[in-house]
Structure 1
Amino acid sequence: MYPTGSAGGPSEGSDAVTALPPDAAAIAGAIRAARKGRGWTQTDLGKRAGVSRPTVARVERGDSVSSKTLMKIASALDLRLGLQS
């Protein structure tokens, strides 16, 4: 997803508020909505996906995570990831 503190954004500890890029916000929101729609906690999703609860929280905030982690979480929720141009 989109890391903070990269050349394109403020570094950690900055007072600037950084909005998520639209795609990152959409992914984070879709994952959160799918989890809540199933009545799962972040811990439930983490166990089903094989990741920790803090990792689920990072995904739902739109923080930077590996594509492998994102695929594990999407798969646990029966969601498909796709690329568009």
Structure 2
Amino acid sequence: MGRGKIVIRRIDNSTSRQVAFSKRRNGLLKKAKELAILCDTEVGVMVFSSTGRLYEYSSTRIVQDISQPIKGGNIDP
């Protein structure tokens, strides 16, 4: 028997929400890396936290090229 189904909704407690974000962000970036390696594909992921901080992964320079203007302040995230 598998896990029960969970309801996806916003976490009210800000500390719990930040912990969940950090764990899920790391999992998402790990999956992106695995996809790029296993399937020999170009993968790019950009994630913005609730505070506006940018987290990124790219198997090539694509995300770095896109995120340069964002980090420089030329584009609103």
Tell me, yes or no, whether TM beats 0.5.
no
Larger CA Rg, structure 1 vs 2: 2
Q: Looking at secondary structure, tell me which structure has more strand per residue.
A: 2
Higher RCO by CA contacts (8 Å cutoff, separation 6 or greater): 1
